[in-house]
Amino acid sequence: MRLYQTTIIQFKLFFIRFISIITFFTIASDSISSTLLVNSENKEVEELFAKWTKFSEDYLSSESKNYGLILATTQLPQVARLRIEYLEDGKTKDSTFCSGVLIGSQQILTAAHCVCGPNPKSAWYFDTFNKCVSHLENLKIKVYLPYEGIQNISALPIVHSGYRSPSTKPHGPDTPGRADLALLLLPHETITQPAIIAREIISEKRPILASYGILNLASVGSKNLDFKKIEYQEGARQLSKQRNLKIDPNECGEEAASDILCTEYNDLEVSQGSSMDAGACEGDSGGPLFNAMSPSKEIAVFGLTSYVSSSNCVSERFTYFINLTKYTDWINENLILSRKTNLNELGCTELMMKGPYELGITINKGQLSVSVFDEARKAIPTFSFSGLHTDQCNKFDNDSLISCKIEAKKTISVTLNDGFAQVIFCKSN
């Protein structure tokens, strides 16, 4: 996610208390107090739980231009992080990261170019459905959801038959759509309540994008959190408010197609204040676009992140989304209907911390996950657990994410040696 303002540091004074160590934020059902999910000897943490619950709810429901982006996983746990590897002779030839969204009891909707090859420079790149479909068996895919942990995908992805790569030459808004859509089948039903596909688009409401892509803070003003004006590795879950949604492809430039929505990239200077926005970057592909909403309501997705109108992350361009309202028939034909989850028995909480730091927490049955990231040119940060057996855990192959199933009450220590970590715990039944 490319940021064009002092995004994180304007989150209110209580967040500044992070002071390069930790901060917590949470969302849980009304019947569960956040302090029941994770216990800590630090009483200030419990205060931050309550403050971040309110702040996150306000972010989702507000039509204000304030608070362009927050780093948050527990808001909208339907949003997935994907690691996709392309294999030749059983060995990884290339890999990519993407985002996605749970839309059925076992299905993740993501961008087709995530499985058919991100771009012509990739080791695998097949720009149409017919070229792509015979190579899908060469993929190794892992999917992360906060409640479910990391799951291995064994079934072949379902790619829309009309798929045309976003990397192909622009054809204009009157040409056939790009159909940049694919479905991934999870190995078992989830406890996460899926998102739904919106029946209509309310253009007057402020759209929000949820994704796991690259971070780039375009402000030196982030020094309170020790973030610099540089690019950071993908992996931190983000919610970002988008600017000037356009539902008519004719308003989206020459690189649009007939099935495209777009938002304007924002290159406002820091001096313009809190009217903050962000556009898509690497790792955001497949992320869902939806309207500001109450956290207690179902997420209704109307767009899926596909591409941007230039080859690198710069200003003066559009972010392009597939208009999902044009593909409801295809989605419904391939959808496994979901069962209802008792949300009163669930709840998630999370924290951001900066290394070096050792965090001690006591948690009950659920899923504990740690996602680490640092400056783009640095190695992936290292961290370790104590009080937890590794056979309870699954991880991404590059060690940027680990997720562990907790079967009973445990006291666990998480030690982060360097960089940043997003630590998430979700209570299960």
Residues 194-215: what's their mean pLDDT?
85
Other beta carbons within 10 Å of 178: 26
Instruction: Record the pTM.
Output: 0.87
The whole-number pLDDT of residue 346 equals 74
pLDDT at 399 over 80: yes
Q: Are 54 and 220 in contact (CB under 8 A)?
A: no
Give the pairing of strands 260-264 and 318-323: antiparallel
Q: Are 256 and 247 in contact (CB under 8 A)?
A: no
Instruction: Give domain status of residue 351, yes or no.
Output: yes
Residues 282-307: what's their mean pLDDT?
84
DSSP string, 177-221: P----EEEE-SS--SSPPPEE-SS--TTSPEEEEE---EEE--GG
Range(s) of the domain holding residue 399: 8-69+341-427
The whole-number pLDDT of residue 232 equals 77
The H or E element containing residue 305 is: strand 300-308
The whole-number pLDDT of residue 237 equals 77
Instruction: Give domain status of residue 393, yes or no.
Output: yes
Distances (CA, A) of 55 to 10, 48, 50, 225, 318: 12, 10, 9, 18, 29
Instruction: Give domain status of residue 415, yes or no.
Output: yes
Residues 159-175: what's their mean pLDDT?
84
Question: CB-side exposure of 242: number of CA atoms within 13 Å?
Answer: 31
Identify the band that residue 101 occupies on the pLDDT scale cut at 50, 70 and 90: very high
Least confident of 162-176, 214-228, 374-388: 214-228
Instruction: Give domain status of residue 76, yes or no.
Output: no
For the chain, what is the domain count? Answer: 1
Q: Which residue has the tokens 């309550």?
A: 50
pLDDT at 186 over 90: yes
Question: pLDDT digit string (tens) for 205-231?
Answer: 778 888 998 876 543 334 445 666 667
The whole-number pLDDT of residue 348 equals 82
The H or E element containing residue 15 is: helix 13-16
Question: CB-side exposure of 284: number of CA atoms within 13 Å?
Answer: 28
Which amino acid belongs to residue 242?
Q
Other beta carbons within 10 Å of 226: 11
The fraction of the chain above a pLDDT of 90, given in percent, is 41
Counting DSSP H helices and E strands in the chain, the numbers are 5, 30
Instruction: Give domain status of residue 299, yes or no.
Output: no
Q: What angle do CA 119, 125, 130 make, to 5 degrees?
A: 125
Higher pLDDT, 85 or 221: 85
Instruction: Give domain status of residue 363, yes or no.
Output: yes
Q: Is 192 helix (H, G, I), strand (E, B) or coil?
A: coil
Residues 81-110: what's their mean pLDDT?
95
Instruction: Give domain status of residue 412, yes or no.
Output: yes
The whole-number pLDDT of residue 149 equals 95
Q: Which residue has the tokens 């610099």?
A: 228
DSSP string, 348-414: EEEEEEESSEEEEEEE-SEEEEEEEE-BTTSPPP-EEEESS-GGGEEE-TTSSEEEEEE-S-EEEEE
Identify the band that residue 388 occupies on the pLDDT scale cut at 50, 70 and 90: confident
Residues 389-418: what's their mean pLDDT?
91
Instruction: Give domain status of residue 185, yes or no.
Output: no
pLDDT at 340 over 90: no
Give the pairing of strands 69-71 and 38-39: unpaired
